[in-house]
Amino acid sequence: MNFQKISLILIFFASALGYSQVKVGENPNTIHQSSIIELESDSKVLVLTRVSDSEMYAIRPLAGGMVYNTEQGCIFQYNGTTWSSLCTSGSTLNETTTVIIDNNDGTFSYTNENNQAVVINKANITNDGNGNYTFTNNNGSPVTFTGTDNQDASEVLLNTPIDVDGDGTAENDVQSAIAGLANLNTDDDITDVNFDGTNLTVEEGTTSFSADLSTLDDSAAIATVQADVDQNESDADTAIATVQTNLDTHVAADQDISATNELSDLSLDASNVLTLTNPATGTNQVDLSGFVSTDDQNLESATLSAANELGINIEGGNDVTVDLSALDDSAAIATVQADVDQNETDADNAIAANTAAIAAHNTADQDTSATNELSDLDLTGNILTLTNPATGTNEVDLAGFVSSDDQNLESATLSAANELGINIEGGNDVTVDLSALDDSAAIATVQADVDQNETDADNAIAAVQADVDQNETDADNAIAAVQADVDQNETDADNAIAANTAAIAAHNTADQDTSATNELSDLDLTGNILTLTNPATGTNEVDLAGFVSTDDQNLESATLSAANVLGINIEGGNDVTVDLSALDDSTAIATVQADVDQNEIDADNAIAAVQADVDQNETDADNAIAANTAAIAAHNTADQDTSATNELSDLDLTGNILTLTNPATGTNEVDLAGFVSTDDQNLESAT
């Protein structure tokens, strides 16, 4: 009896697994309705099988199988025949994805790049009966194609061949054009630079350009400047020799060539005698003791009156007063204190008013909840539902936005800067900045919380253990009670199984169709006819000719605009453009040539400026030498005093009369009586 129960449970469990979904990682109970297996984690990744080259090529899995090649450092995918690297990059055309919708009324529709709706009528396609189909093109000409969709790029011909890579050979098909663009894109860097002394040659792949830099050779100009400098140096040496000769002549004629023999010093000794050094003749000392002052008065007192007047009293002299009332700040301090008191009163009043206003606002606010206006979004099937709506419908049917785009993602790479690059089959690649997902700092914070939680958990476990012990006792008692129920349920189940067995036997007797396969059908496709075997009634064939792909368009033309944009036009499809302006180096070359021309102009201007400076320096040197020579000659002519001592003088003081010997002209005496001190000065004022 127990074996029957276990078998029944296993059958139900196996049935559940057959229709179940698997979620691994975080949020295991949340899985998309269309997923069989989902992975979710912010700290763990899916690791593919890691193999070497030889190991990978020895494996022949189902098409779509993927491994990580440790020698190539890349993910490889098996297409049913060969392994292909998902890291291979190359030239691609900017492509617009177009979704064609079957309207189920004999027409297809899509929206072109001009945002215009285009309708295709299947009735305009004629089955020729030989595997080919014909329809009338927009230009009125018939187009015949085979009902297959296995063309490659080499089979798509260009109506007008074009040389896309500039090698002199026009490409006739899309494959050649793509290869040419790939070669063109790889020739986007300067590969070599040579300078032969005259020409600068820059090589860019198979192309090169040269610039003649001979005009920048300044060696001749530098030689000319050097010759001028040498001549100037020779002229300067000659002029210096001439000046030296003139100076020697002047020194020979000058009897006073000492620079210091006419200098004198004054010294005052402790006895108040003023002495002149280096006198001509006679006495060179003057006694100044009669001029010594006896000024030794003392300040007797200083008092401040109630009116802020400072009185200063001096010994044996006149007293003075100073009005200091301007320094009294008591009134200003009182004013500032009054302002402080008023500001404090104003602040108290403002705080009271603000408190009253907040209380009034809380009373008048009928909505003090911080969350009652929040809503959630729920997507069930294609129905997007808004919870907690204001009024009206809160559901939106998104069925019209469901895409039939069946492109595959080719690769996804994460850079060191946490940028996720996603490459899509036949579409535009995108990058996503995931640096905001870098949770290292948050993880550290969480770790601290985890550590604290662990401590708290340990404490809680000790408390819970007591409850567990009690619960165990209660559970033992409950198990005994449940066992009685189990025994009764087993008896009831045995009775029910016996009744079920009898019912099944009665059903088998009454069932006139016990075959497990007589209602099965097969599908068969012959040509474009889909046939259903073992139909119930009526027609069992469907003609699928209207769904056969007409994909045999040719590229009509490829043109390169003045802005270096390559336009590729396809027959009966959406045209595309590729911006090749990044490959145009004409601006850079023009900039380099402009720099070369400007450098040449700057060099010419600099040489001219240097030459002008050299010429001016030469002129200035000649003029200075001539002026110096003339000045020396004039000095020699005008100098009638070649005596070394005739300008020396002596000082003599007799009474209050100071006499200078050997004067130039006029009076040579000075009366010093006015300088005699009477030591009776008074303080006149103090401010």
Which of 153, 170, 12 lies closest to 91 in space, CA to CA?
153
pLDDT in the model for residue 446: 57
Which residues does 603 contact at the CB level (< 8 Å), separation at least 6? 216, 218
Confidence band for 511, pLDDT divided at 50, 70 and 90? low
Distance, CA of 605 to chain centre: 41
pLDDT in the model for residue 321: 85
b/e string for 206-241 if b means 16 or more Cβ within 10 A?
eeeeebebeeeeeeebeeebeebeeebeeebeebee
DSSP-assigned letters across all residues of 56-106: HHT----TT-EEEETTTTEEEEE-SSSEEES--------------EE-SSS
Q: Is residue 255 part of a domain?
A: no
Query: What gap in Å lies between CA 106 and CA 147, rounded to an integer?
Result: 18
pLDDT tens column, 595-653: 858 877 886 887 788 688 868 978 987 897 788 788 777 876 776 665 656 666 677 77
Q: Is residue 459 part of a domain?
A: yes
Which residues does 497 contact at the CB level (< 8 Å), separation at least 6? 4
pLDDT in the model for residue 400: 60
Structural domain harbouring 410: 376-435
Sheet with 126-127: strands ordered across: 126-127, 132-136, 142-146
Q: Is residue 262 part of a domain?
A: no
Q: Is residue 613 part of a domain?
A: no
Q: What integer is the mean pLDDT of 11-33? A: 73
This prediction's pTM: 0.23
Give the 3-state secondary structure of residue 628: helix
pLDDT in the model for residue 572: 65
pLDDT tens column, 65-83: 999 999 999 999 999 989 9
Mean pLDDT for the chain overall: 74
More confident residue, 176 or 686: 176
Query: What gap in Å lies between CA 573 and CA 159, rounded to an integer?
Result: 14
Q: Which amino acid is at 498?
A: A
Sheet with 299-304: strands ordered across: 299-304, 309-314, 320-323
Q: Is residue 318 part of a domain?
A: no
pLDDT in the model for residue 222: 76
C-alpha distances in angstroms, 177 versus 154, 163, 427, 552? 9, 8, 18, 18
Confidence band for 138, pLDDT divided at 50, 70 and 90? low
pLDDT of 309 > 80? The answer is yes
pLDDT in the model for residue 94: 43
Q: Which helix (H) or strand (E) holds 275?
A: strand 273-276
pLDDT of 58 > 80? The answer is yes
Q: Looking at the 3D structure of the chain, how many domains does it have?
A: 3
Give the 3-state secondary structure of residue 656: coil
More confident residue, 605 or 327: 605
Confidence band for 297, pLDDT divided at 50, 70 and 90? low
Q: Is residue 346 part of a domain?
A: yes
Q: Which amino acid is at 435?
A: S
pLDDT of 91 > 50? The answer is no
| Alpha-carbon torsion (589, 595, 596, 598), positive or negative | positive
Contact 638, 252 (CB under 8 A): no
Q: Quick one: 425 and 456 in the same domain?
A: no
Q: Is residue 351 part of a domain?
A: yes
pLDDT in the model for residue 187: 46
Q: What is the DSSP letter of 399?
A: G
b/e string for 263-289 if b means 16 or more Cβ within 10 A?
eeeeeeeeeeebbbeebeeeebbbebe
Considering 412, 435, 458, which residue would you say is the last residue of a domain?
Answer: 435
**Facing residues of 310 across strands?**
304, 322
C-alpha distances in angstroms, 643 versus 247, 250, 256? 18, 14, 6
pLDDT of 122 > 90? The answer is no
Q: Which amino acid is at 466?
A: A
Sheet with 529-532: strands ordered across: 523-526, 529-532, 541-543
* CB-CB neighbours of 648 under 10 Å: 17
Contact 297, 315 (CB under 8 A): yes
Which of 279, 401, 146 lies closest to 659 in space, CA to CA?
279
More confident residue, 275 or 227: 227
As given in the structure block, the two tokens for residue 78 are: 């098996």
**Facing residues of 24 across strands?**
39
pLDDT in the model for residue 216: 64
Query: What gap in Å lies between CA 58 and CA 484, rounded to an integer?
Result: 62
Q: Exposed, middle or buried, 532 (CB in 10 Å: 0-12/13-18/19+)?
A: middle
Confidence band for 95, pLDDT divided at 50, 70 and 90? very low
Which residues does 611 contact at the CB level (< 8 Å), separation at least 6? 224, 225, 228
Distance, CA of 465 to chain centre: 56
Q: Which helix (H) or strand (E) holds 183?
A: helix 174-186
pLDDT of 50 > 90? The answer is yes
Q: Is residue 478 part of a domain?
A: yes
pLDDT tens column, 539-553: 667 665 665 555 556
Query: What gap in Å lies between CA 112 and CA 100, rounded to an integer?
Result: 10
Q: Quick one: 466 and 493 in the same domain?
A: yes
More confident residue, 494 or 199: 494
pLDDT in the model for residue 71: 95
Range of 46-50, 311-315, 495-499, 611-615 with top mean pLDDT? 46-50
Give the 3-state secondary structure of residue 154: helix
pLDDT in the model for residue 249: 83
Q: Which amino acid is at 571?
A: E
Which residues does 51 contact at the CB level (< 8 Å), separation at least 6? 59, 67, 68, 69, 70
